[in-house]
Amino acid sequence: MTTATTTRHAAGVADAVKVYGSGDTAVRALDGVSVGFPAGRFTAIMGPSGSGKSTLMHCAAGLDTLTSGVAFIGDTPLSTLDDRRLTLLRRDRVGFVFQAFNLIPTLTVAENITLPLDLAGTKGSREWIDALVDVVGLRDRLHHRPAELSGGQQQRVAVARAFAGRPDVVFADEPTGNLDSRSGEEVLNLLGRAVRRMDRTVVMVTHDPVAAAHADEVVFLADGRLVDRMESPTADKVLDRMKAFDAKGGRS
Ligand SMILES: Nc1ncnc2c1ncn2[C@@H]1O[C@H](COP(=O)(O)OP(=O)(O)OP(=O)(O)O)[C@@H](O)[C@H]1O
């Protein structure tokens, strides 16, 4: 059982620099970020538009590479892996939830949920999948296709799929961006439950202070740097912190 005071990190980056382009047009999207995402916790990444949130998430998840510095999943530095091993690591140890649910339209809900396991050629744990189906509240929809579900239900399928293989960490990129506030709230509660009741780890990029308030901790980026962290956030406290960025033109 992981406690809130653990220092074990499910993922993170150290001295992370990411430069897009070169010469006059080079953009330093990450400018020396070091941050660990504690195992068994829900961390939100916030910051003004263009501050580097997506870049940080993509590099930490092994979807993109750093210009310098280290990204790691568990104890594995991603730069030590060749393409094949990186693909396997992403498949076996990382889950993703995107803004646009990205379900396979021709597969049923049940088939979408177990897709990562089927691709990996494993059955996974029947009990785990069963428990997930109950947590996301989709038992009566298992044989439906995505088009027969609401947006909120589709995102709940995507959440179940992300956790199906019991990955070390699930990265969620604006998971409520396409949802109304009630469905968004359900998805956020679900991510919170997965962390607190099922001992999972979630890292979520969001623009929304209400969404960030579901996390255990918020890390704030500005101009490619980590500028603040907030434990036990509330929507009001996060909003105030974001307003301070606006007032100072981005940098805290
Ligand atoms: N592929 C790319 N090529 C060039 N520049 C990029 C690329 N991706 C991102 N950038 C730049 O890097 C910086 C950080 O972008 P990033 O998307 O990480 O920020 P963000 O905080 O996620 O923004 P938003 O909240 O608007 O999604 C921005 O200046 C952006 O224009």
DSSP string, 214-236: TSSEEEEEETTEEEEEEES--HH
Query: Count of alpha carbons within 13 Å of 83, Cβ hemisphere only?
Result: 0
Whether the CB-CB separation of 97 and 159 falls below 8 Å is answered with yes
Q: Is 133 exposed, middle or buried (0-12, 13-18, 19+ CB in 10 A)?
A: buried
For the chain, which residues make up each domain, given as ranges? 9-247
Check: complex ipTM more than 0.90: yes
Å from CA of 158 to ligand 1 middle: 25
- This prediction's pTM: 0.92
Ligand 1 contact, 49 CB (< 6 A): yes
Of all atoms in ligand 1, which is nearest to the CA of residue 52? Answer: 18
Residue 87 has pLDDT above 70, yes or no: yes
φ and ψ of 208, to 5 deg: -100, 115
Interval 174-215: pLDDT, tens: 999 999 999 999 999 999 999 998 899 999 999 999 999 999
Confidence of residue 216 (pLDDT cuts 50, 70, 90): very high
Classify domain 9-247 at the CATH topology level: Rossmann fold (3.40.50)
Ligand 1 contact, 51 CB (< 6 A): yes
Q: Of the candidates 197, 196, 190, 112, which has an alpha carbon nearest to the alpha carbon of residue 148?
A: 112
Closest residue by CA, ligand 1 atom 24: 49
Whether the CB-CB separation of 17 and 30 falls below 8 Å is answered with yes
Of all atoms in ligand 1, which is nearest to the CA of residue 221? Answer: 21
